[in-house]
Amino acid sequence: MDNIKNQQIKKQVERWDLFARISPTLFLLTTLFLTIFEIVKIEYAFYVGLIGFAVTAVTWWWWAIFTIKYLITTLARASANLTDVDQEVADVREDIRKLKNEG
């Protein structure tokens, strides 16, 4: 279950990375082309950019919050499991020491 979720997060990070690399340049070039050739008014392009920026910022913010929450939960569980393993290893070591003393 964790592995599937981890893979999903990895894919989402890759998609964000691609989006961050492409979208600013693509939007800038498209806007320049459309406004220079007077296909779209600069005012509309400005508002489209503003709305796009706002939607991206809000989406990223919530995605980041949920992802961080998931990572912290996973980290806490892994840490608790490691503590259990550490305790079990200590118990086994103690048992072996006792067996050796009895022998």
Partner 1 sequence: MRDNTFKIIKAATNVTSGLSMAALIVLGVMYVSFTNAFVFNNSGISVTNNPVTGDQINFILEGSREHKCVLTRVHSHAINNETGEIFDFDFDKKVYLRSDDYLGNATGVVDHQWGIPRPENMPAGVYEVSLYSEFDCVYLLFTKAKVQMFDDIVLIIE
Contact positions vs partner 1 (CB under 8 A): 20-25, 27-28, 32, 35-36, 42, 46, 49-50
As measured in angstroms, the least distance from the Cβ of 7 to partner 1 is: 21
CA-CA distance, 6 to 78, in Å (whole number)? Answer: 14
- Only one residue has tokens 């893979």, namely 7
As measured in angstroms, the least distance from the Cβ of 43 to partner 1 is: 8
CB closer to partner 1, 32 vs 78: 32
CB closer to partner 1, 43 vs 102: 43
**Who contacts 2 (Cβ-Cβ below 8 Å, separation ≥6)?**
74
As measured in angstroms, the least distance from the Cβ of 60 to partner 1 is: 14
- C-alpha distance from residue 100 to each of 87, 88, 92 (Å): 20, 18, 12
Query: Would you say 73 and 83 are in contact if contact means Cβ atoms under 8 Å apart?
Result: no
CB closer to partner 1, 27 vs 70: 27
As measured in angstroms, the least distance from the Cβ of 42 to partner 1 is: 6
